[in-house]
Amino acid sequence: MNKKLLALAAFGIAVTSLLCSFNYGSKPIVPIIKSSHPKIVNIVNFIRLLEPRDPAITEDVLYQTVVKQVEIMKKYKLAGTFLLQYDALMDARYQMLLKNLPRNSFEIGGWWEIPQPLVEKAGLKWRGRYPWDWRANIGFATGYTPHERELLTDVYMKDFKKIFGYYPKSVASWFIDAHTLNYMYQKYHIVASANCKDQYGTDGYTLWGGYWNQAYYPSKINSYMPAQHEANQVPVPIFRMLGSDPVRQYDNGLGTNRQGVVTLEPVYKFGGGDSTWVNWYFKQFVEGQDMEFAYTQAGQENSFTWDAMAKGFDIQMPLIAKLRNEHKIKVETLAESGAWFKAKYKVTPATSVTVNEDIPGSDLKTVWFNSRFYRVNLLWENSTLRFRDIHLFNEKLPSVYETKVATSNECTFFTLPVVDGYIWSKAQKLAGLRFMTAVDGKSVSLAGGKPSISNPAPGKLHITWPLTTTRGTLVMDMDERTLKIKINGDIPGSWYLDLTTADGIKLPFISVNNNRINCKFEGMNYAVKAVKGRFTKPADGAVFRISPSGDSIVLNLSGNN
């Protein structure tokens, strides 16, 4: 990504002796996953030939970065994927380096950013400022017509096969439109793709409200939108890249016009370059409830250079190897993960990402739940609970880039918001759907202890939260279409959920009725339905209130599908 390379500083805490003292033996270890829920790690490094944003980053610096990545992965006998931008694909040094990697542990695929040589070989006019220009209307497929995208794909695939003797199985990018993705699948039979983590405004690219982490099958008319039905999906799983911090990435940089970055990327001082954070991240990755499988992507683009990422690699690679040797994670190529996903799932499964314990000094806990119909994020903070995020998915919502060419240097992808704790917040007031109760005529937040999260049956997430405001337990159950909330035990007065947002925020709500909230966003009408419970507009300033019928609230979050 177009991150501020010059702002990178010395970072990271030296890897502890515990992580440096493993004996790996002389032969690769074949991982054996004890759990039926695999914890999958893809080490994906993507390669650009040149970096026009910094004259100190020469082609040789970029090449030596990849050499070092190969060396450290071989040292720990770690499988991985290298993805080539077209200009790097055509460079003899990269060809020789990557051809000599063992194919049983290394995958070579495509990185779908569009440089000048690819455009001109396809017979098109280059409009960029440099031979590689990262702007969304120049350096990505969205800057070209659907027919031009096919021409670009044909050139890349023909030359890739000429060099390596086969077509790539994986092609990834910060974003690839559905037309290009489906064309690559139908004509060249790719089995996996990947796109950027959710982010808002970072480097001019916004992907917001999608299937959070893991992987999904996209709609045929919107590659960011999970499809609800097999007939309407591109049958290529898209894995979410970069290993977002499940707690902090979401609202990092709140109050500014772009998010910060807290990810597994090894260049970041707080994140993938810090041993405390990395060890915490992988502990939650291994131990957290995932429902089906856990996924993360390690690795880094060569544009950041080896000097900037070396400490992070030295922290992460031995730890990943250790967890593999202990059979706690499975390290494989992106194509292997894609083939496994497609063999196991006909449609996008329901999954979760769980943080039961935060980094030292913080008591935050969170759960991300994803299905092909919606996503939800819960955040426990200071003994209280709120829905930080709820977005609905609808395969009928087209991306504007499916038929039109991007004309701006920015690109935006959205789904359908019901709760948005980032966009609807300001630094002084955080948006959220909060659990409240009435005590002595006053509204107060429900408070409680440590939640318990389990997966009692396929596709079902079960959460219990012991309350301290009163004697009782909040019980929540989610499946791919429905959210159920109940409180067992004594509770003084009524309880309810209130949505509050910062002032002056444009919201998608058209009407709030007793059993239905009607919404409109990006030209699409959608709804949240109360199967049990009721919606009202209270006089105390909340956008809407959800009150239980008896002791329960049941919401249908499948939209209008």
Tens of pLDDT, residue by residue over 437-462, are: 887 778 889 999 999 999 999 999 99
d(CA 100, CA 220): 37
Tracing tokens 């979760």 back to the chain, one arrives at 352
> Is it the case that residue 275 has pLDDT exceeding 80?
yes
Domain ranges of the chain: 26-352, 424-556
d(CA 299, CA 316): 9
Mean pLDDT value of segment 127-156: 94
- Please state at what angle helix 275-287 crosses helix 306-325, rounded to 10 degrees: 40
d(CA 364, CA 375): 20
Determine the pLDDT at residue 178.
96
Q: Please tell me the number of Cα atoms within 13 Å of 11 on its side-chain side.
A: 23
- Annotate 480-514 with DSSP letters as a single string: SSEEEEEEEE--SS-EEEEEE--TT----EEEE-S
d(CA 533, CA 196): 37
pLDDT 10s digits, 113-138? 999 999 999 999 999 999 999 888 99
> Is it the case that residue 514 has pLDDT exceeding 50?
yes
Q: Which amino acid is at 55?
A: P
| Phi, psi (deg, nearest 5) at residue 86 | -60, -40
Within 229-326, strands assigned E span: 238-240, 294-298
Q: CA 124 from chain center: how many Å?
A: 33
End-to-end CA distance of the chain: 35
> Is it the case that residue 277 has pLDDT exceeding 70?
yes
Tracing tokens 């939650």 back to the chain, one arrives at 284
Determine the pLDDT at residue 13.
32
103 contacts: CB under 8 Å, gap ≥ 6:
none
d(CA 289, CA 453): 7
pLDDT 10s digits, 177-229? 999 999 999 999 999 999 999 998 877 788 999 999 999 999 999 999 999 99
Say yes or no: domain 26-352 is CATH 3.20.20.510. yes
Contact 525, 535 (CB under 8 A): no
pLDDT 10s digits, 35-78? 579 999 999 999 999 999 999 999 999 999 999 999 999 999 99
Would you tell me how many other CB atoms lie within 10 Å of the CB of residue 222? 26
Q: CA 20 from chain center: how many Å?
A: 30
Mean pLDDT value of segment 501-514: 94
* Average pLDDT over the chain, rounded to an integer: 90
3-state SS class at 171:
strand
pLDDT 10s digits, 77-87? 999 999 999 99
Contact 402, 433 (CB under 8 A): no
- Annotate 457-474 with DSSP letters as a single string: ETTEEEEEEEETTTTEEE
Q: Which DSSP state fits 107?
A: E
Contact 469, 487 (CB under 8 A): no
- Annotate 190-252 with DSSP letters as a single string: --BEEEPPSEEEETTEEEESS--SSEEPEETTEEEEEPSSGGGB-SS-EEEPS-B-TTTSTTT
d(CA 44, CA 316): 13
Structure tokens at 360: 């030292």
Mean pLDDT value of segment 337-342: 97
Determine the pLDDT at residue 448.
94
Say what the pTM is.
0.91
- Give the confidence band of 25 by pLDDT, cuts at 50, 70, 90: very low
Contact 123, 90 (CB under 8 A): no
